[in-house]
Structure formats: C-alpha cells, structure tokens
Structure 1
Amino acid sequence: MVRIVWVMSFISTLFFLPSDAGETPPLVQSVCQNLVPSPNLQKFVDKLPRPKNIYLSNCTQLTLGAYKITQKLHRDLPPTPLYAFGTSATTATYPGPTLRATQSSKSYVRFENHIQDEQPMFTVDRTIQWANPKRGGVPTVTHLHGGATESASDGNPDAWYTAKGEYGPAYITQNYTYSNVQRPTALWYHDHAFGITRLNINAGLAGFYIVESPPEEKTPAWLPTKQFEVPLVIGDKQFFPNGSINFPSIGDSPKIHPNWCSEYYADTILVNGKVWPYLNVQPRKYRFRLLNAANARVFELSLSDQRLSFVKIGTDGGLLEKPQNLSTVIISPSERLDLIIDFSLVPGCQIFMNNSGAAPYPDAEPALSPVGTKSVMKFIVNNRTKYPLKNHIPIPSRLRKPDPIISVKDAYWRKAHMEEFDDTQQNPIQDLLNNLTWTQPVSFYPVVGSTEVWEFINFTPDAHPMHVHLIQFHFLNQQSFNQSLYMEGGCSLQVPFNLHTNNNNNNATTSCFTEEPQGPLPNQIGWKDTMLAFPASVTRIIIKFTTQDGRPFPFDPTLGPGYVWHCHISDHEDNDMMRPYKLVHNSTKH
C-alpha cells in the first residue's frame, strides 16, 4: 500500500547544483514518494532509439555482460550513470540488446558481471534481506522472464554473482541454456538478484528476448515485419539536474526500514531509454511489442486521435486466438503486449500515446501521477507510404487455433494469500505471500504434468502483478469479497465444493463473496505469465505444468534450485513478496 511520507518542506525545495555526472548531488534527502521533481524537460525532442538485434544461434554461445555506463536519456540532461547489458562496455546500452531466438532451437548465453562499484548504484536497505556479498560489489543474476527454462538457467535470486568472484548459495553456472519451446512471443531478460532487483532493473539491467517462428514457417502477409515491427520498453524515472537517477534513500517507515520504499513512482516516462521520444512513421500498419519495465507503475495507454485504436494481437505467451480492437490497453509491470496500429487512417498527423493509469493501481494518489506521467511518446505520420498495397491486407478474425479446454475437475487447488503489514503510523513495512518470507522452506510442490488452480486472495489495498516462473497459464475467473466481514470471522472464502475436489472443511457458513465468478477483462485474456490480482478479490488462474502445447519439458524441471513465484512490483518482491516452488515427479508432497 502506498503512503506519501511528508517531511519538513525545506527538504523537497532545496536547490542542488549539478555535480559531475555519476555523482549524487550532496545533502540530498530522496524521500519515498516525495522526491525532488525532475528538471523541466521539453517533450518529444529525442528520436525513439531501437535496441540492437542480436540473433542467437543454436551452435554458438553469446556472452553478454553487465557494465556500468553513461547514456544520454534526454537532449537537455547530462549523461546518466546506468548499469547496462552488452557484448562489451562500449556496446552496452539501456535497454539492452534485443535477443532474437528461434522457436524449438536451443540458444546459449553466458552472462557476466563487470560492474566494479563497491556498492549498488542506489541505497541498499540493510534491514531487509538481500544478497549482501561479504567482499562488496554489485550482485547480479539474469532471469529470462516468461521462459520455459531449466531451473539452473532460470536466474534464481540466490544464484547471484559479483565482479569480484563471489557467488550466492544457489549459484550453479553463468552459462545458460534456453530451450525456446514456448510459442513465438516477446519475453524479456532482467536482473533478479536477491533483495536488490528493484535497484538493478531501475539502473538499467533489462532487455527484450523475442522467440521467432522457424524460418520454414512463412510470416503471415498481414503481420508488419522488419522496420515496421518496433519494440517499446516503457518505464518511469526521476532525475537530478546532473542527469543521475533520483531513487529514494529515505523509506516509508524509516524507524523500521530506513531506506526501503514500498513503491517507486517517478515523474518522467521513458521509452527505449529516451524521455518522451518521437517516432516518424509511414501511413500504414505498424506492429509494436510493448514491455512495462517500471518498478510499480501500471499504464493505461490510449491514442490522441479517436480514429485510431489498438488492435491487440498477443500478450505474454504469444498470439491471441482472436484480435481485440481496443481504445485503451492496460499493462502492469513485466507484462507484454503485441499491438498493431494503422496509421494510414491519419496521414500527415501527429499522434500522441497517453497514459491514464492510476498510481497506485487501481486507487490513485494524484500526487504520484504528475503531469509528466500522462505523456508517453509522439508519432509523426508521413503523408505517403512506400508500401500501399501490403497495408490493405486485413488482420484475420482468427489468429490461431483455439487452445484445448483445460478441465478443473481433477485440478489441485492452492491458496495464495497476499497480505500487507504496516507500522503504527499505517506506513507499509512488508507484503507477504501466505505469511511466509523468501527464505522459509518451500511449501508448493506441483507435480510435473499436473493441472493446478491458484487462487490469489488479495487482502492488500493495491493490485499486484503476480508472476510464476517456468510456465504460461490462463485466467480462470475472479470474484470480489467483503474483506471487513472476512477479517471479523463472519464469513468464508471457500469455493463451492462442486468446483474442485480437494476442498478443505470450513466452519463458516456465510460466503464472503459479493458476486458470482466473473470472466476475464481484456487484459486477462490469452496465455499469461503475469496476472494483475485486484484488491478485495480472488483471482484464479489455471496452470498445467507442461509446455504450452501440452508436451513434457525437454529438460527435467525437478532438478536444480527450483522456481519462483512473486509480485512483480519489484519493490514488493525485494521485501519478501516472493516464494520458491519445486516441481516433483509424484504427489508425495503438495
């Protein structure tokens, strides 16, 4: 839950002279959710960059390092110190290069850590658990988000390593193998180090990973490709006048957690590492692959001209069965969207992509969404296109075959309670899952090949984007409930017995639910690896612990350090809203 921490007014109005790039201005007190505003920057003056493509080979290992760099994020800002991925210090960029793999063809990536800082770029709160290398340095470990990956290559938070050669307790290797058995889709890779994921991602350690169809499968003629396929990494940051990132150094509850901020919301929107960029486009269809790489901000995106809409063709796990024509799309942290916009309807116009997402979501604190967060980027549409005929090929009404219906009849049901704990001033100090921390023993043991229904029961005031490693899943349904009555012990959240078979007895006879199970919202349709779970609601997902097409994994998923499920508000994840799970070959454990 968000609480705006108010301190003496002079802290937020101090004037700081810019210092050398990479140094934090002296005497700054960066207070959680009351940060000094960014410098006044002009919008839409920088061209949208496109991250470099690196094509992964089935036979060759790519070495990708994490480096400390500086990079211009706006025309009028000095270069910003960042951590970034690249094949060398000179090629490293924020966001990192787009890695392109081929479906069902293995790829091999070695991740290295070349960050020589003695401490992470932003203040580490040492009252929460984190990697804490004895010899100092910046721990990193890379997770392929959405990948069907053996656990030794999954980027377990405890598999971190430093440039000094120190390793976490789950470390096995830095040579990762990706099977790429999921459907063609856009994934992303990012840092996942224990307790400092929020710091390292905000510092720049993130990039797209796109699984493409095999060459023998012809790309549909209606689908924009090459220069008309544009990746968009969206997020928010706050800046000091010297170009460095303003990240909280004083937390929500300083007496308990001096530096941890429950949710980082900033006043400036970046796309592909540029502040409010513009993109010149032809009057034709474009395909946009969107990633929300923000710490906590949920985006509700729209276009400034009502003649235009988003045609949503895919989500986290690939193409939808049917396209959706939407005026607004919702994307929470770590989710991806596959969208088509037809600019042929507005030749010669300037079109703005805007944001109206509440922060926190869905109940807003207006101060956390200043005017700068309402703009995302600008499209400048040319009058003519070089490819007029191809643009008229319609998007089909069905994009792929329907998925087989997964029955809940024999599914194993799990409850995942989401709880917030506050200090005596009602400031948040921790969010937990089933009242357990990351370091407590594994409690979920799914059986390989089995089907399970997970119920995310949200007792907190905020929506949480819940992510499950290894697999893609489907939304089942959701129900709101009377939280106050439940807390008083006056009702039950028990699902009716006929919905599943491993129902637990419950003495309460009155149902807490205030409605019948509801179907999916537009942003909950399709294959997902991250699902936004709303407050005072039970959000149910159905998981089959196989590949997307129902076949066994091409590796043994029971080996190695295991997998993770967590909230992808990275500020929550770092403060124990994350749990391990282990797959097993039999049902001796659940």
Structure 2
Amino acid sequence: MLSRRRLLVLGGLAGGAALTPMTRGLFTETAQQARPMHVHDHGGRVPAVRSGATAAPFTVAMPVPPVLAPTLSMPGLDLYRLSIQPANAEILPGLTTPVLTYGGQFTAPTIRARQGRRTLVTFDNKLGHEANVHLHGGRVPAASDGYPMDLIADGKSRTYDYPNAQPGATLWYHDHTHHMEAEHVYRGMHGFYLVEGADEQQLGLPAGTYDVPILLRDALFDDKGGLVFDPADPYNRPTLLANGKAQPYFRVAARKYRLRLLNGSSHRVFELTLGDGAEMTQIATDCGLLPAPVQVTKLVLSSGERAEVVVDFGSLPLGGQVILNDVSGPVMRFDVVRRALDRSRVPGELRAMPLLAAATQTRQLTLSLDPVNIRALINDQVFDPNRVDMQVKRGSSEIWQVTNSDTNVGGSGFGVPHNFHTHLAQFRLLDRDGKPPLPGEAGWKDTVLIQPGETVRFQASFGDYLGRYVYHCHMLEHSALGMMGQMEIVS
C-alpha cells in the first residue's frame, strides 16, 4: 500500500520530485531558472533522473507503426483482429525489453478507418491476465467503450464495434483495466486509430508517407533494459521515446509533413518546441481539425491529448537537422535527406465549427488528492462502479466546470496538475478561469489539462448512445487511485 509520502511523490511533491512550489513555477534541469506559472503556460515537469540503461540521442531511426490490414472487407464494414500479448522489443540499442502489446508490437499497429465506415476489431487476450481496450476519443456504444470493469479474461476474445460516425481525427486505443491501466499503458498497450474524415481529401493536406503519427512517451529502464514501473514516482522516467525508440532520428524530405502527435505517457506533460522556437502550423486537436490553422511555437500535451501540426522542412538544406524538444530535453531529430515534389497545402479554412446548442444543465466537479487516506477524488469521492454519479440525457448539451483544487497537497506548499477526459462525449472549451482558451484549443476535445487552482469550463455534447461511461483524470496513476466518475446516458 502507498504511504502518505509515496502519494506525495506520486503527485510530484516529495523527495527528488520535479514539481515546484506554486510561487516558483517551471524550472529547467540545467539552470533551474524559476519563472511564474501562467494560466495558459501548461508546461510539463522535469523528471529527476535515476540511474539505469540509457541510449545516446539520435542513434536509432524512428519507425512508423505499420498500418493494420483488415482480415475481411465488405460494403461499409472492415474487420480486424489483434492479439493482446507479451513481447520483447529493442527500445534501447542492443537491449531487449519485455513489453505488453497489442499485436506483438511496441508501438501497436495503426488502424486507419474511414468516417462513416464501420469497423469490428476482435482482440484475443493472450496476456496471462485480464485486460481490455478503450478507443480514446471514439463515439462508440457503451458495450464497446472499454469500461474499466468490462474485461477480457485471459484466453478469451472480444469484438469491439466502432461505427466511426464522427469527423476525421487522431484517436488512439489503449488498455483501461481499473487499477492496472497505468501499468498496462506504460508497458506498451497503446496504438493509433486514425479516422480519415470525408472532408479531408479536398483540403490538400500532406498525405500518404507524409502523414506521420508519432506517439510520444517516457520511460525508466533498469540496467538490463527492463521497464521500471513505479506508480508512486511517475516523474522519474527520464528517457523520452518516439514511436517506441529512445530519442530517435527521422529522415524527411524537404517538404511539408503532417505530424500527428500523441502524448501516450501515463502521467507526463510534454511541452514541445521545434528547434530554437520555429513555428509549427497547428491544424487539429484531440477530436479533429480546427476551424482554421494556428501558428504556434509551443505545444503542450498532457497524457492522452493529441495535436496535429504541419511542419515545412522545405526551407532547410539537404543535410539540415531540426530537433523536437521537450522542456526536459530532446525528444527526436528530423534529418532532411532528400528533395520531393510538394503539392500539399494548408488552406485558411479547415473545418466549420457550428454554434453550440443551448446548454441544458451545468455541473461542477472538483479534483483532489487525499494523502491521508491515499486516494484520488472527484467531488470528494473515489470511483465506485456500483454508483452512478450523474445521469445525462442523450442528445443533451451540458456545461461542466472542473476545478483542480490541489494547490497545497497535504500542507506541502506544492500544487499538482491534473487533466480530465470524458468517454463518449466530446467538448469545446469555453474558458480557463474566465479567460478565453488558446486558439489551438478551439476545436473539439476529449482531454484537457487543468493546472493547480485552475477552473476549466467546457460544453459537452452527449449524442449517440445509451449506457454507462466514465470520466476521469487521464494521469493514469491518479485514475487508478480513484479519480474517476461514472455517468449514465439515458433517454
């Protein structure tokens, strides 16, 4: 059982942890230069480095996860099959790392679906214990959502039904076994699920091999290359991975690329910059395209969040290099190795954003850690699968006000960030502490970062399906301790 001190470490509050007092804000690992924390400055926290196996940066190539082929296709429907199984991966050069996977690969194969075309995905559990699958960002029936208690027994199979009746977006699939979700995801149970929108082809965005999904995450290795999972110390994961390789390089042509960035960590917040602050063109957030492109020099992604950017390498000479950096250090390097014809573009308008319907209800939720009883809470309650926390009418639109009350956990003087993810429902941010959201947050989302003391308001749409769905902090070590609630969609 976790001690009080271990829970403080989990929140980043004790020992060598990296969270700083609210009066100090972020600091870099080298200079430890303090700067104030701003409402919209959602930066990550620098992990304290623990000894273990590492790799020199930019010595291995970044792979692109293979696209999974259907086992059968018929009009309006594609069928897929994947195993849930242990495997070995070479994450660090020359070392073998035991991992847990979908399809035996770290990172799992990508499923590319089409808007309006249904997919049935069968998962065969060969893991040795129970597991399940959640399509993060998917608007799916409750029976296919990957409810935390709805598990696939070892040796059994389950077919998930994904209608794909939603606009194109970068989704991902991962484990959601309650109390085990953080470790399962950390050990490799994650992969991309890309819904190709009916409106995207006409936009002329980079496509084909120039449309690249990149799963970013962190890890800590022992001396033999094994993954070290310590749920009470998630900040001590100093090795940064891109598509399952430690600080890799990726060879690109001198032209535009569409990069689909996913924070697949169980806990870390990434604060990403390109080179010395070069501009990136953000075109999408969690649930699809923005109304219009936004020029950004920094992307902040908490666990589970996605952003799509177009980066033009055309101005770089052959042999040119540019590094994608996190606040804690380099993530990966892009190497320009050839020239290529580029007919792609980024139009000034991407996807129309309709006016929000009138909200039918406003709800208030408060996130907090309880270090005395070693719990993580929503509205002072831990998750109970036998309790329905709210009933929501199908087809309704509601405003949720979510507050992170953890400004001084356990009297430590430290604040803890949280984030918030809704199953089924997608939402649009209204404000942060009464201030408008950033332009890059203008689209539909399913996950949002909430800083200590911050209140976020969003309006969510509850269409499509009936049944029980959860909402929770997507810093998975927190949800595993109970920071999760349950809603029932009713007619």
Give the TM-score normalised by the residue count of structure 2. 0.85
Whole-angstrom distance in 2 between the partners of 1:323 and 1:220: 16
* Counterpart check, 1:301 vs 2:272: yes
Distance 1:441 1:287, change over 3 A: same
Q: How far apart, CA to CA, are the structure 1 residues paired with 2:135 and 2:241?
A: 22
Larger Rg: 1
Deviations 1:322-368 (A, max 9, x none): 10101111111101111100001122311111011xxxxxxxxxxxx
Structure 1 position 576 matched with structure 2 position 454: no
Unaligned segments of structure 2, at least 5 residues: 1-10, 18-46, 407-414
- CA shift for structure 1 position 149: 0.4
Q: Distance in 2 between matches of 1:462 and 1:292?
A: 19
Within the candidate set 224, 227, 233, 2:215 is matched to 233
> Aligned match of 1:332 in 299, 302, 316?
302
8 Å CA contact 1:448–1:584 kept in 2: the answer is yes
Equivalent residue runs for 1:186-335 within 5 Å: 186-214=170-198, 219-220=201-202, 222-248=204-230, 260-261=231-232, 263-306=234-277, 308-335=278-305
Whether the 8 Å contact between 2:50 and 2:238 is mirrored in structure 1 is no
| Structure 2 equivalent of residue 379 of structure 1 | 334
The 5 Å alignment of 1:541-580 reads 541-546=458-463, 553=464, 557-559=465-467, 562-580=468-486
User: What's the counterpart of residue 159 of structure 1?
Assistant: 150
Alignment of 1:8-47 (within 5 A): 36-47=50-61
> SS at the partner of 2:477?
helix
Could you tell me how far 1:160 is from its partner in structure 2? Answer: 1.3
Report deviation, 1:523. Answer: 4.4
Cα offset, 1:102, TM superposition: 1.1
State the alpha-carbon separation in 2 of the partners of residues 535 and 309 from structure 1.
Answer: 28
> How far is 1:55 from its partner?
4.5
Paired residue total: 438
- Cα deviation, residue 218, structure 1: 6.9
Q: Shift in Å at residue 533 of structure 1?
A: 1.6
The RMSD of aligned alpha carbons is: 2.0
Q: State the partner residue of 1:51.
A: 65
Alignment of 1:391-402 (within 5 A): 393=345, 395-402=346-353
Q: 2:427 aligns with which of 466, 473, 484?
A: 473
CA distance in 1, matches of 2:255, 2:154: 47
Verify: 1:449 aligned to 2:395, yes or no: yes
Could you tell me how far 1:319 is from its partner in structure 2?
Answer: 0.5
Deviation (angstroms), 1:59? 3.7
- Take 1:264 and 1:151, find their aligned partners in 2: how far apart are those partners? 33
Q: Give distance in 2, aligned partners of 1:571 and 1:144.
A: 19
Match of 2:371 in 1: 422
Aligned counterparts of 2:141 and 2:80: Cα–Cα separation in 1: 18
Give, in whole Å, the separation in 1 of the partners of 2:357 and 2:451. 24
Q: Distance in 2 between matches of 1:558 and 1:147?
A: 14
Map residues 483-522 of structure 1 onto 2, 5 A cutoff: 517-522=434-439
Q: CA deviation at 1:110?
A: 1.0
Query: 2:112 matched to which residue of 1?
Result: 100
**Stretches of structure 1 lacking an aligned partner (at least 5 in a row):** 8-32, 87-91, 117-137, 166-172, 249-259, 357-372, 480-516, 547-552, 586-590
Task: Write the distance in 1 (CA, Å) between the matches of 2:476 and 2:296.
Answer: 28
Sort the Cα spacing of 1:222 and 1:445 in 2 relative to 1 into closer, same or farther, 3 A.
same
Larger % of strand: which?
2
Tell me, what secondary structure is at the counterpart of 1:344? coil
In the other structure, the counterpart of 1:536 is 453
Instruction: Quote the Cα distance in structure 2 between the aligned partners of 1:519 and 1:211.
Output: 29
Paired with 2:379 and 2:347, the residues of 1 have a C-alpha distance of 44
**Secondary structure of the corresponding residue to residue 582 of structure 1:** strand
Q: How far 1:462 moved relative to its partner?
A: 2.0
In the alignment, residue 567 of structure 1 is paired with which amino acid?
Answer: C
**Aligned-partner residue type, residue 438 of structure 1:** F
Three-state SS of the structure 1 residue aligned to 2:100 is: strand
Which residue of structure 2 lines up, in the alignment, with residue 110 of structure 1? 122
CA 529–264 in structure 1, closer or farther in 2 if over 3 Å, else same: same
User: Which residue of 2 is the match for residue 4 of structure 1?
Assistant: 14
User: With structure 1 as the length reference, what TM-score do the two structures score?
Assistant: 0.71
Query: Offset at 1:317?
Result: 1.0
Deviation at 1:74, TM superposition (A): 2.1
| SS of alignment partner, residue 572 of structure 1 | helix
Question: What is the CA-CA distance between 1:422 and the residue it aligns to?
Answer: 1.6
3-state secondary structure, aligned to 1:201: helix
Q: Residue 68 in 1 paired to residue 81 in 2?
A: no
**Counterpart for residue 130 of structure 2:** 139
Instruction: Name the SS of the counterpart of 1:301 in structure 2.
Output: strand
**Equivalent pair of 2:168/2:196 in contact (CA under 8 Å):** yes
Name the structure 2 match of 1:431.
376
Change in Cα spacing, 1:4 to 1:284, as seen in structure 2 (3 Å) is same
Q: Deviations over 1:225-278 (max 9, x none)?
A: 111111100000011121101222xxxxxxxxxxx5164540100000000000
Distance 2:481 2:287 in 1: 28
Does the aligned pair in 2 maintain the 1:310–1:329 contact within 8 Å? no
Measure the CA separation in 1 of the matches of 2:387 and 2:356: 34
Q: Tell me how far 1:6 sits from its aligned partner.
A: 6.8
1:525 is aligned with what amino acid? A
